[in-house]
Amino acid sequence: MPRLTKNEDACIACHRCEAICAWAHHVVFNPHKGRVIVDLEYPDTHQLRICIQCGRCADACPMDAIYQDFTILTTSEQGIYRLDESKCTGCGECIEACPTKVLQFYADKRMPRKCDFCLGQPMCVRYCPTKALGWVLG
């Protein structure tokens, strides 16, 4: 029952997690297309924003485009929430409902970016040079 974890004290704000996420999902090294976000608030302050799999986005979606995939379980033994792009109308209700504000809108695709934990092999964790992101399996 895996989950994604973060340690902001270990993060050096290199944005590698954002870039590798964009590569894994869109084959482009563009941190602005990642599903993990490193917010730089001040020169010495930053925040890692990750999907916490709370399900509020799914509850808010009027098209049922966000669903639980039970092939990958979270630590609460619930399936991860994933986006069915064929059902998404781009209304933005899920983005408004997201408590971590990690859901962002793809203007070119007219739909949100939704973390899917790379289907159990999160690339952001694999390529984080300081282990600021983790994948807990139990």
**Domain of residue 48, CATH code:** 3.30.70.20
Question: What is the number of structural domains in the chain?
Answer: 1
What confidence score (pLDDT) does residue 47 get?
A: 83
Q: Which residues contact 45 (CB under 8 A, 6 or more apart)?
A: none
Q: How far apart are CA 58 and CA 63, in angstroms?
A: 9
What phi and psi, each to the nearest 5 degrees, are found at residue 66? -105, 125
Low-confidence ranges of the chain (pLDDT < 70): 1, 41-45, 73-77, 138
What confidence score (pLDDT) does residue 77 get?
A: 67
138 in a structural domain: no
136 in a structural domain: no
120 in a structural domain: yes
| DSSP conformational letter for 100 | T
Hey, is 48 helix, strand or coil?
A: strand
- Print the domain residue range for 81: 3-130
pTM (predicted TM-score): 0.84
Q: How far apart are CA 128 and CA 99, in angstroms?
A: 24
